[in-house]
Chains A and B, each alone.
Chain A
Amino acid sequence: MKNLLLVLCLGIVSPLLAQQVDGPQLTGISETSAWTVIRIESDQPFIIGGNRYVLHVGDVVFEHSRHPDGNERIIEFLVDPDAWSAAPKGEDAVLVYGLYEGNMTAQGRSEHMEGRYTALGPLTK
């Protein structure tokens, strides 16, 4: 049943693609044979540094990502289907530079930390 729901939700998200972006925004969710790809675009380059961007969805964290074609204004999180299916429904997605387990929420709320914290809103799968 969960898988069926996932397929239906993916269909709903697809129209989000190709919108004009202003700051990091979720712009698409697609599937390959191996991954569910969550695409986030921004009008500014993402930080390219030692740390890593992580995508929090509720209590679930997605850690692995890529910048397609080396484009630093796009980041795609690579999520395997089971992890994607397990992600809570309707929870806020939060993009954070750095994985700070246990204090993500506190860090995210700091007004000083806009550079590495972006609330993307509910991730409606």
Chain B
Amino acid sequence: MTSLLTNAKAADISPPVPTAHKHRRMSLWHLFLFPTALLFAIPLVQMFLASLSPQAELLRFPPPFIPSHLTFTGYARLFASSDVLLWLGNTVLVSSVAIISNIVLCSLAGYGFARLKFRGRNFGFLAIVATIMIPTQVLMIPTYLLFSRIGLVNTLGAAIVPWLATSFGIFLMRQFFLSIPAELEEAAVIDGCTRLQVFLRVVLPLAKPALATLAIFTLLGAWNDLIWPLIAINDPGAFTLQLGIANFQGARRTDWALLMAGNVVATLPLIVFFTIAQKQFVATMTLSGLKG
């Protein structure tokens, strides 16, 4: 893992430039790639189609492959009968706080562990790396007990607090800061800047690619998180989107148009982000591999 993380090249996976001029003939790989890509696309296409289908057609037997016409009644029922906009707002709030907090705290800590000399530095960093090994299932019960004692149960705080800072984020930022030459900072120190000024003015502007990776990692984690809200939030007023859609599928078993409309609301923002910033997303996936 370390070798992957430290290798800056690893994050860039654009296809190799062909060495010689080759004819762009029909490659046999299309015979494999086209059906595979289609198969991967079908679930999401089905999700969008079903969310726009008349509910009666989804429960006809046998169901049609393509709806006769598109309609927004699924969305109308979703917005009328659930607090989905509130949940969306909650999720946006949780994710934004998590992203801002991670960018601030993890870059500060990453810089401290990479550049500053102080007592306990190595031990502190080692302890943080060790926490990456601790699986969620070990933490579920005590975290629930902890949250109930400090009054976080049934509040959005239960969804936010576990995401305020991540050990992966610190690890990532430290690796990045180690990779940039220290001479730049030394010059600024000689010019009389304090450490914080050096960090804010010299180092942080260079760190944009790493911060983008950290932001995407946090966004995916906080937006899609199910387990922490699940154990600590029972109050529908503090539901996140994930908790909301996981819960109301029990109550609305076969109202597929409505359920898929909820799925679209929960997924579309991430799909849009992904298509805009595919390169950064893929780099983040390569570096992290953490999901859920």
Real binding pair: no
> Which A residues contact B (CB, under 8 angstroms)?
none
